[in-house]
């Protein structure tokens, strides 16, 4: 019987989970399997893959008209673990929680007080935080003795200089209403910061481009976040699959005053109808756009690359130069054409692309004589959460749930 931790990552319409073995036999958490439920609230689909990526369980058939809620999804995952992880003793659950507010600058064991504090951050991340907390509550209801750990997307950025966090707003909005730049994708950046020395020893200053369906960039110095493109919410910065990225706030005023947009219509526009999907009119998936000969698809890709290049310049300036540029997440890890264009546009910075290495996804995609190196490093937010969970629980005696 092995000890293990389960990692839960709830999104607005999906739930990802992973089980890692921990303990003496595995000083570092070892992935056993991972899975996801897609289509929460619409047509659900469940899939589990082993550590080698092979599918080990699938379910696409659900009773007619099923709409899975987040709580049902978490129950489904726990039932699966109960039946299928009989040789694993689950000792703790680690959760991705989007917002730690001004209070949490690192992972925390969840208690009633912590949960109450996390509830107060719901208005700061209304699209994500309620789902994250629903998963914690669902597990608590079923297994009250199981320790749970919350790991925050904002925490990695909490040490940024105050000037990087401030908006030029009146002071009471900054202090009382906590309206400031928080930054997101922190678990991904923390994982990359941890791994970077293995790839690029001596690279003290880096810009990491996390390019997935959500996309952001972060300047990292000596393993710490200096600045990032996401701010108060995860809609700031780069254009994304369906999100606008940075938008002149005057546009929102104009839409409200001249086109009668209300808060709900603006939210839908900013989060769901814009970005690659809005500009192309075709898809939010980079693969569809790259395979299309529609000029609007090409323009959406151009716009995405232009903003990566422009934000790279800003982050390089914020960190006073860089030693390494890192690409990660779905697009960053797989789209060699996009990486080549970003690196070519960044030749002013001293990046010389190694075309052959880029074609095979690196990991080093710059030539050996490139003054600034460029890398592809796959991110692993689930592993980061597992590590935090194990570290935080330490050797304390735990009550396993199965």
The site string for ligand ADP over 161-200 (x = CB under 6 A, - otherwise) reads: ----------------------------------------
- Cα 387 off chain centre by: 16
Which region, judged by CB under 6 A, interacts with ligand ADP, from 45-53, 257-265, 330-338, 382-390?
Answer: 330-338
Max Cα–Cα distance, the chain, nearest Å: 65
Which region, judged by CB under 6 A, interacts with ligand ADP, from 50-58, 107-115, 159-167, 331-339?
Answer: 331-339
- Tell whether residue 245 is a contact of ligand ADP (CB under 6 A): no
Least gap, CB of 338 to ligand ADP (angstroms): 7
CA torsion angle for 324, 327, 329, 330 (degrees, to 10)?
-170
Q: Which of 187, 331, 384, 390 binds ligand ADP (CB under 6 A)?
A: 331
Least gap, CB of 178 to ligand ADP (angstroms): 26
Least gap, CB of 210 to ligand ADP (angstroms): 8
- Tell whether residue 330 is a contact of ligand ADP (CB under 6 A): yes
Spatial separation of the C-alpha atoms in residues 186 and 263, rounded to whole Å: 28
Task: Output the CA–CA distances (angstroms, integers) from residue 190 to 71, 84, 203, 220, in the order listed.
Answer: 29, 31, 15, 9
The three-state secondary structure class of 216 is strand
- Tell whether residue 212 is a contact of ligand ADP (CB under 6 A): yes
Least gap, CB of 383 to ligand ADP (angstroms): 14
Q: Which of 329, 353, 357, 387 binds ligand ADP (CB under 6 A)?
A: 329
Cβ-Cβ contacts under 8 Å for 215 (sequence gap 6 or more):
209, 237, 238, 239, 240, 241, 245, 304, 329, 331
**Omega before residue 356 within 30° of 0, cis:** no
Structure tokens at 165: 């966090």
Q: Which of 8, 150, 286, 318 binds ligand ADP (CB under 6 A)?
A: 286
CA torsion angle for 258, 264, 265, 270 (degrees, to 10)?
110
Based on the residue annotation, tell me whether 43 is a catalytic residue of this protein.
no
Among 153, 236, 335, 380, the active-site one is 153
Contacts to ligand ADP by CB under 6 A = 212-214, 241, 285-287, 329-331, 334-335
């Amino acid at each position: 019987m092995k000890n293990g931790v389960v990692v839960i990552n709830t999104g607005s319409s999906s739930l990802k989970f992973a089980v890692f073995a921990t303990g003496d036999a595995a000083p570092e958490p070892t992935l056993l399997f991972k899975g996801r439920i897609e289509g929460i609230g619409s047509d659900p689909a469940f899939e589990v893959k082993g550590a080698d990526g092979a599918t080990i369980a699938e379910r696409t058939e659900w009773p007619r008209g099923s709409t899975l809620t987040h709580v049902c999804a978490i129950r489904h995952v726990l039932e699966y673990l109960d039946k299928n992880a009989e040789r694993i003793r689950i000792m703790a659950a680690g959760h991705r929680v989007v917002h730690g507010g001004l209070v949490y600058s690192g992972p925390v064991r969840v208690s009633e007080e912590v949960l109450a504090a996390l509830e107060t951050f719901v208005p700061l991340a209304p699209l994500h935080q309620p789902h994250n907390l629903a998963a914690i509550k669902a597990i608590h209801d079923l297994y009250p003795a199981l320790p749970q750990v919350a790991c925050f997307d904002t925490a990695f950025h909490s040490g940024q200089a105050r000037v990087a966090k401030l908006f030029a707003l009146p002071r009471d909005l900054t202090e009382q209403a906590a309206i400031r730049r928080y930054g997101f994708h922190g678990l991904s950046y923390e994982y990359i910061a941890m791994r970077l020395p293995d790839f690029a020893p001596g690279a003290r200053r880096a810009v990491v481009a996390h390019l997935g369906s959500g996309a952001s960039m972060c300047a990292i110095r000596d393993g710490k976040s200096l600045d990032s493109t996401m701010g108060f919410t995860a809609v700031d910065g780069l254009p994304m699959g369906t999100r606008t990225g940075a938008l002149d706030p005057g546009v929102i005023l104009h839409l409200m005053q001249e086109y009668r947009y209300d808060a709900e219509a603006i939210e839908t526009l900013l989060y769901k109808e814009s970005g690659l999907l809005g500009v192309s009119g075709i898809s939010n998936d980079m693969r569809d756009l790259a395979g299309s000969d529609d000029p609007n698809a090409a323009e959406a890709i151009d716009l995405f690359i232009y903003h990566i290049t422009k934000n790279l310049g800003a982050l390089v300036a914020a960190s006073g130069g860089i030693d390494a540029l890192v690409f990660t997440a779905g697009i960053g890890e797989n789209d060699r054409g996009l990486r080549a264009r970003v690196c070519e546009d960044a030749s002013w910075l001293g990046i010389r692309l190694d075309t052959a290495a880029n074609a095979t996804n690196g990991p080093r995609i710059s030539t050996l004589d490139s003054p600034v190196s460029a890398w592809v490093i796959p991110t692993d937010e689930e592993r980061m959460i597992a590590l935090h969970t194990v570290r935080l629980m330490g050797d304390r005696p735990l009550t396993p749930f199965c």
